Amino acid sequence: MDISPSKITKEVIQECVGKANPTILDIGCNRGGHSLWFLEMFESPNIFCFEPDPRAIRRFKNGVGQRSNIHLFEMALSDRIGEITFYQSGGQRNEKVAKIMPEGWDLSGSIRKPKDHLLVDPLVTFDQTITVKTTTLDAWCAEHGIETIDFIWMDVQGAELDVFRGGNNMLSKTRFIYTEYSNRELYEGQATLRLLLKHLKNFQALVRYPEDILLKNQRFE
């Protein structure tokens, strides 16, 4: 599949989802910028956000605030229920970033230990680990009565397959997935795009971007 040089647009997402009140999961939501973007796209979306880094959580609460249709869960999604080590990213790339993220760069943290990320982006450090709560997609949906997911937006820094392994049931009931990927092992054990697609057997690739891919569940027509 050819790689699109452009970024995904509102129009593409709206055309895929095709309804005013979708159920959207923003997994690895950081400060909530994409969740606010979804509010612009849809009349009455129900958006569930997942973020384990306390620094990003503080920025989320400051930027998004209290909204009836955005729900924040301060945890990671993976293939297990309980607690897990989270590798916090840090460092400062420039003065502008330092003003936005005074506690350090918080966009690259992961439940996977950094590997080639240290070479690709040496200005981003990983000097701190914390323990965070984790659950699986299947367990969380069962607990909260979610029967169908219209759209998953996922940015979990190398832990994509962990999330998928914990959601075998609910992925069959998910219409669209938009996820980051890398064919380089930026984090230890990170699955390549080929391995991710092998796990998502019922999903068809609609658009491949340089570091992201839009997938459609063929069970929904």
Ordered per-residue pLDDT tens for the chain, 221 residues: 789 888 999 999 999 999 999 999 999 999 999 999 999 999 999 999 999 999 999 999 999 999 999 999 999 999 999 999 999 999 977 777 778 888 899 999 999 999 999 999 999 999 999 999 999 999 999 999 999 999 999 999 999 999 999 999 999 999 999 999 999 999 999 999 999 999 999 999 999 999 999 999 999 97
We report the CATH number of the domain holding residue 205 as 3.40.50
Contact 115, 188 (CB under 8 A): yes
Residue 187, in any domain of the structure: yes
Residue 141, in any domain of the structure: yes
Q: At what angle do helices 33-41 and 10-17 cross, to 10 degrees?
A: 60
Residue 139, in any domain of the structure: yes
Element (H, E) at 152: strand 149-154
d(CA 104, CA 134): 23
Residue 41, in any domain of the structure: yes
What domain range includes position 135? 10-22+33-217
d(CA 32, CA 59): 8
Residue 1, in any domain of the structure: no
How confident is the model at residue 187, as a pLDDT? 98
Beta-carbon contacts of 181 under 8 Å, excluding residues fewer than 6 positions away, are 160, 192, 193, 196, 211, 212, 213
63 SS3 class: helix
Residue 27, in any domain of the structure: no
Residue 210, in any domain of the structure: yes
d(CA 190, CA 196): 10
d(CA 89, CA 35): 22
Number of domains within the chain: 1
